């Protein structure tokens, strides 16, 4: 008999940045576990392709083009998501961008603000909309933010990126305490080196790969599918008493 708490039938999961990479890896597992899926992504063509890949799971699907750095756009997208799917039980604030590498003393204000708008403001707008909905609806829910090892390790020449991810972790901890009275739990996922479109340049760089891969005890790059299990767990009743945590998914990299 299947362990029933992992059955997500009747639940709705929203994944920002769910049209590729880690987000799509989570969306596929969530759909396979029975959840209806809402994907927000800035690229309409990628959104459509992601929905097509999820159709075999037989769940309700909805995708929206949304710039998460735009507060009004997030509010509109969330309202439309609820109108289409009825509710949101699990919200994965996964969308983000990388920082253009620069020495801290040369980091331009515009670049700092660009990364902040997407990685931090965008997650704030998304999680706030979800928390309001869950608290007003009742019945609890799950808030999840995709942070990074940069939140807990020094990210040389990427202070702006690391700052956003560290702030995400702090925000999630605050939400875990504040929203618990509504039955809402909040957790952060900290990926290590994952092979996605965002990291393609690093993975293809022989010098970089030669320095990083030997430090990963699992001896491979992480894959988007490696985030399916944790997504299902955090969306399910199996994690009903698990809140305020930072879940590191890195093949052991941060330990070695």
Note whether 27 and 51 are within 8 A (CB): no
Which one from 161, 233, 241, 253 is the annotated catalytic residue? 161
CA atoms within 13 A on the CB side of 135: 13
For residue 71, pLDDT beyond 90: yes
- Position 1 scores a pLDDT of 64
Query: What average pLDDT does the segment 220-225 reach?
Result: 97
pLDDT in tens, 114-136: 999 999 999 999 999 999 999 99
In sequence order, the β-bridge partners of residue 185 are 142
pLDDT in tens, 6-28: 999 999 999 999 999 999 999 99
The whole-chain average pLDDT of the chain stands at 96
Nearest one of 231, 239, 15, 243 to 123, comparing CA atoms: 15
Active site residue 3: no
Confidence of residue 103 (pLDDT cuts 50, 70, 90): very high
- Position 45 scores a pLDDT of 97
In the sheet that holds 184-191, the strands lie side by side as: 61-65, 36-41, 12-16, 90-93, 141-146, 184-191, 246-249
- Position 201 scores a pLDDT of 87
Note whether 212 and 193 are within 8 A (CB): yes
For residue 148, pLDDT beyond 90: yes
- Position 135 scores a pLDDT of 98
Query: Full-prediction pTM beyond 0.95?
Result: yes
pLDDT in tens, 190-222: 999 999 988 888 888 999 999 999 999 999 999
- Position 3 scores a pLDDT of 77
Burial class of residue 20 (count of CB atoms within 10 Å of its CB; 0-12, 13-18, 19+): buried
Neighbours of 76 (CB within 10 A): 14
- Position 202 scores a pLDDT of 87
- Position 2 scores a pLDDT of 67
Query: What average pLDDT does the segment 65-72 reach?
Result: 98
Please state, for a pLDDT cut of 90, what percent of the chain lies above it.
Answer: 93
CA atoms within 13 A on the CB side of 239: 27
- Position 49 scores a pLDDT of 98
Query: What average pLDDT does the segment 183-190 reach?
Result: 98
pLDDT in tens, 36-66: 999 999 999 999 999 999 999 999 999 999 9
Q: Give alpha helix (H) positions in 60-149.
A: 71-85, 109-115, 122-137
SS3 content of the chain, % helix, strand, coil (to 5): 55, 15, 30
3-state SS, one letter per residue, for 129-176:
HHHHHHHHHCCCEEEEEECCHHHCCCCCCCHHHHHHHHHHHHHHHHHH
Nearest one of 76, 162, 87, 69 to 124, comparing CA atoms: 69
């Amino acid at each position: 008999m299947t362990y029933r708490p992992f059955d997500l039938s009747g639940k709705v999961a929203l994944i920002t940045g769910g049209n590729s990479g880690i987000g799509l890896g989570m969306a596929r597992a969530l759909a396979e576990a029975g959840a209806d899926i809402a994907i927000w992504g800035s690229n309409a063509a990628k959104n459509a392709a992601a929905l097509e890949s999820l159709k075999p799971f037989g769940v309700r699907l909805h995708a929206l083009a949304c710039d998460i750095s735009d507060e009004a756009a997030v509010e509109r997208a969330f309202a439309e998501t609820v109108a289409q799917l009825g509710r949101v039980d699990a919200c994965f604030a996964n969308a983000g961008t990388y920082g253009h590498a620069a020495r801290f003393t040369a980091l331009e204000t515009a670049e700092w603000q660009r990364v902040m708008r997407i990685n931090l403001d965008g997650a704030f707008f998304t999680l706030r909309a979800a928390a309001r909905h869950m608290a007003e609806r009742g019945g609890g829910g799950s808030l999840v933010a995709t942070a990074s090892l940069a939140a807990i390790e020094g990210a040389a020449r990427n202070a702006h990126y690391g700052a956003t991810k560290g702030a995400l972790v702090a925000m999630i901890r605050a939400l875990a305490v504040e929203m618990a009275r509504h039955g809402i739990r909040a957790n952060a996922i900290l990926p290590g080196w994952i092979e996605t479109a965002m990291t393609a340049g690093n993975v293809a760089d022989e010098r970089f790969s030669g320095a990083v891969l030997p430090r990963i005890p699992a001896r491979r790059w992480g894959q988007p599918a490696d985030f399916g299990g944790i997504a299902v767990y955090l969306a399910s009743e199996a994690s009903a008493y698990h809140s305020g945590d930072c879940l590191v998914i890195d093949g052991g990299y941060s330990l070695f």
